[in-house]
Amino acid sequence: MTDATTENAPNFFVRRETLPQEAAPLSVAGPIAWVRSNLFNGPLNTILTLLCAYVVVTALPEILRFYFIDAVWTGTNRDACLADKIGRPVGACWAYVADRYQYFIYGSYPVSERWRVNIVFAMFAIGVIWLLWNNAPLKKLGAFFFFVLLPITAFILLLGGPRATGLLHFLVWITLALAVFYTVLSFVPSLARFYTGPALLAVEEAAPPWKRFYRPKRLILMSLVAFGIIAMLENSIGLPRVDTGLWGGMMVTFLVAAVGIVFSLPLGVLLALGRRSKLPIIQLLSVIFIEFVRGVPLITVLFMANTMLPLFVPQEYSPDRLLRPLIGVALFAAAYMAEVIRGGLQAIPKGQYEGAMSLGLGYWQMMRLIILPQALRIVIPGIVNTFIGLFKDTTLVTIVGIFDFLRTIEATLVDPTWATPTTRGTGYAFAAIFYFLCCWGMSRYSISVEKRLAAGQRR
């Protein structure tokens, strides 16, 4: 009623609804304003913008032309990539990468045995995804898979070799027997009772540590590990042996990186705990190790592993040529990891330690259940950064004569089959893409973890 009357009322000029907002003038919003405020505000910025634009405009088409438009994609030897042979300007010689990619991945690993490498690669990929994917189920199992099962399987599959004999053989069977015995015990409690007596089972918690292994879960893990070690020593699968001198390419790069990652983390935790320990000798030894390793270049550590390690052990146990740099890399990475983890340990407030102690937890329980889970979570970005550094440093094993990915590229560059003026640029570009994708992927992951952790801290 009233509405109608007001609507029809004459000379009623009061506006009844708010107007839609005016668009901002073009000088303060929209692309033109953005360009003006971000690219051309002031003479200095204008000059810089024009300079940069010039560089981009001249360089980008050149790069595109070299790597895509003029590139050669197919061919079987150097003739495909020579300008005077095919009668047009030649850019990158991708045919060379296509021809040699098997060598880049496997090195000189025998063609008929490469399926073994593929299995390890697949397991590695599964392990990585399992551990990195946020909501993956059974993370603990994943960690076990990656840190225990994968190394053992990789060792057995990649190396192969004849059965062990003599004392080793005997030891292997003893371990196997023990593992089976423990497994049976864990599944048949009455047997265990017969073996230990019911009182001991009942007060298992009060028992000294070495008698606490009668828990089925732990037993299964133990027996698995024992079985793995057995299989590793015995190598009973009977695959033909592939000498480490034939290993090469991405396989070795990933191997060095994975060994560094798998061993540096636990070693780093131990060293960091040692450095913060109140026991003077342990602290001193940890500090000496960490500061010594961090004070010298990786190359000297690799040289040391390569030339001095064989001197330090009896001649007959002289370590394999590939094993030496692996030990060097693992120890080197462990020292850096220790410093990262120490940062995390220092960031945990004292109340956490005191709370744990007031609950009656011992040192290792306190560390395992209260401190380390928090400390490691804080330093995940730092840990990933150490991994990135480690991944880049794997290239240095070249210097002690290991055929890693970069070395296989260098090796193909001197091969006359593909000797063209543009092969080198192509090979380096391919290597750059590989390393960039791996390192950049890792750094993206660490940034996303950082963000997720920061979200938890926000209130």
Partner 1 sequence: MSTLSTEPARPGKASLFYDPKIRGYVYQLLLLAVVVFVIYEAATNAIDNLRAQKIASGFGFWNNAAGFDVNQKLIPFSASGSTYGQAFWVGLLNTLLVSAIGIVLSTFLGFFIGVARLSHNWIVSKIAMVYVEVVRNLPLLLQLFFWYNAVLKPLPDARNSIQLPGNIFLNNRGLITPNPIFGPGFSMVLLALFIGIIAAVGFYLWSKRQQEATGKQYPNGLIATALVIGLPLLVFVLVGRPLSFDLPQQGRFNLTGGLQIFPEFVALLIGLTTYTAAFIAEVVRAGILAVSRGQSEAAHALGLRPGPTLKLVVIPQAMRVIIPPLTSNYLNLTKNSSLAVVIGYPDLVQVFMGTVLNQTGQAVEMVSITMAVYLTISLVTSFFMNIYNKRMALVER
Catalog residues that contact partner 1 under the rule CB under 8 A.
37-39, 41, 45, 48-49, 52-53, 55-56, 208, 278-282, 285, 291-292, 294-300, 303-304, 307-308, 310-315, 388, 392-396, 398-399, 406, 410, 413, 421, 424-425, 428, 431-432, 435-436, 439-440, 443
Give dist(CA 276, CA 292) in Å, integer: 17
- Residue placing its CB nearer to partner 1 in the complex, 133 or 440: 440
- Residue placing its CB nearer to partner 1 in the complex, 244 or 426: 426
For the residues of 226-292, what is the DSSP string, one character each? HHHHHHHHH-TT-PPP--GGGB-BHHHHHHHHHHHHHHHHHHHHHHHHHHT-S-HHHHHHHHHHHHH
Provide the minimum distance between the beta carbon of 37 and partner 1 in the complex, in angstroms, as a whole number. Answer: 8
Measured between alpha carbons, how far is residue 50 from residues 27, 46, 60, 424 in Å? Answer: 21, 6, 15, 33
- Contact between 428 and 436 under an 8 Å Cβ cutoff? The reply is no
Provide the minimum distance between the beta carbon of 39 and partner 1 in the complex, in angstroms, as a whole number. Answer: 6
- Residue placing its CB nearer to partner 1 in the complex, 288 or 347: 288
- Residue placing its CB nearer to partner 1 in the complex, 20 or 43: 43
Q: For residue 242, what are the contacts with CB-CB under 8 A and spacing of at least 6?
A: 109, 110, 113, 116, 158, 159, 160
Q: For residue 234, what are the contacts with CB-CB under 8 A and spacing of at least 6?
A: 163, 164, 169, 172
Provide the minimum distance between the beta carbon of 48 and partner 1 in the complex, in angstroms, as a whole number. Answer: 5
Provide the minimum distance between the beta carbon of 448 and partner 1 in the complex, in angstroms, as a whole number. Answer: 16
Provide the minimum distance between the beta carbon of 393 and partner 1 in the complex, in angstroms, as a whole number. Answer: 7
- Residue placing its CB nearer to partner 1 in the complex, 34 or 187: 34
- What residues does 404 pair with on adjacent strands? 249
- Residue placing its CB nearer to partner 1 in the complex, 160 or 425: 425
Give dist(CA 40, CA 36) in Å, integer: 5
Provide the minimum distance between the beta carbon of 285 and partner 1 in the complex, in angstroms, as a whole number. Answer: 6
Please report, as a single letter, which amino acid is at residue 70: D
Measured between alpha carbons, how far is residue 151 from residues 57, 116, 120, 225, 228 in Å? Answer: 49, 14, 9, 11, 10
Provide the minimum distance between the beta carbon of 299 and partner 1 in the complex, in angstroms, as a whole number. Answer: 5
- Residue placing its CB nearer to partner 1 in the complex, 68 or 440: 440
